[in-house]
Structure 1
Amino acid sequence: MVRFAFFVDGSNLFGSLKGMGVEVDDYQAFYGYLFRSAEQQWRQAVGGSQSPVGVLQRIYWYQVGSLDAWNLDDAQAQAYLKERFDENRQIKAGYMAQAGKLLSGKPQADVALKAWSLCFDEMKGWYENKKRILDGMKRFHHGVQSSTDLIDVLEIGHWKVDFFGHSCEEKGLDTRLAVDMIALEDNYDVAVVVSGDADSIPSIDLMKRRGKHVGAVEFVRGYPPEQKGRGFSSKIKLSADFVARVYEMELVSKKVAKKAEPASQV
């Protein structure tokens, strides 16, 4: 028996599904399909239909579980952000222009206060929305994990917030995935990586030197090669022993996924 384990970067997975315009309802069935595709490619890579039977042992699914904690009602937090606002001339100029239109003819000091108020209100609304998104993700993760014994959802990633850029930088997720490939090596014989981050490559190379087979999953828009499809490039597949290509229209035709509603692709 050959044990397969999947190491999945959740952000990469959802980005790939969104890029293909598909949605998944049953993740146990979805990963079962990925496993069968990976096992087939593995057998071709090792040269054999006579290889021992493969079994899907575990799915380690890495997700964001936290974000920077800010109390935006706190006066000190507001003062700190106001200082950063005053220091950022480009950002401040944009809000000053908005405030100037709203307070035409008013003193510059009033315009400056209004500019900061506009900026802060937007930051607060954006941050509260990010917290709601994270709460929704956590509920989704709990639902997935409670529906199957095969999936471990590991909420170890962290969002570092950029208030003025209205963006989050993901931290820690791919590093933990790469570390766990090594730490959990006794739990599998073949690792299948779903990630676009090159941070995993050293771990992949190390596990290959230790005698493990390591595969990668490539998600492809459209149809299989004879009908042309467009893949999502990843440096990881260059280091892998084999690549399992998963095609959008095969996912749909086999009812592993469904085409997303237009609103879901925004």
Structure 2
Amino acid sequence: MSKEVVTGDEKEFMDEFLLESQYLTECKQLPLDVLDEDEFAVVEKCLNQEDLTDEELTFLKKVLYRYREAMKKLDVANSEENVETVRKHIKSEKELLALIDELEENYKLQMVYCLRNGEEVILDLIVKPLTDSQAISEMQTHANLFKELNTNERVVWSKVMQGQMVYTEEEKKLAEHIADKYEEQEYDMEHKTQGMREFLARQVEFENTSFKTYNQKLKFWNKIEVTTVIDLYQKVRKMLHIDEQKTEELFLNE
């Protein structure tokens, strides 16, 4: 069977089509401040729908390929796809109250903690429920911290905060872009980390706690290394259902 040959006219038509569709869309999604001078120049021409030379088009394809791969590895594009869940339909107040009553007043949580000598221990913790005023305050704090980040950027920042490795230069640029954008806010990293420790001092204690006052508990959490604080903070927020959720995701008929 003879191999199909693509003519020059067909290739030119395909390049023009991609420039006006896929390449243009990808250029719009790309943070421009992560690009170097040559990359920015060719991306800007694509955004402005200017004619590109064959060399510029080839370079643009390479740029988009590199950043496309970086975005995939950071799991930006597909990170918030819905996970299939089973949702029970509640048609009476009694059904909902029965489900609520099944939950204990305090959540129990076990966590592995690694000591400096490499020994691992299991922490038996209790997560205390939030009052209504605390819940509103915590949700507002979360919104303020991340209000300047779009959905994809929040996902990447969360992954970076959890210590996910980034490998390529393009991935590093994307992570740095988000970090710079985050740091433009009035909350620096030290401030945010201290806020996490204060949150844990209010909401988390050991099953057989020795400390009764907030200051005693805060002094304890100040001694716990930062990565553990971050991981536990995120876990507890999810347990208490105070992670940000889009309103449109709550209302199924819209």
- Give TM-score, length-normalised by structure 1: 0.26
Q: Which protein is richer in strand relative to its size?
A: 1
Structure with a larger share of its residues in helix: 2
Larger radius of gyration: 2
TM-score by length of 2: 0.27
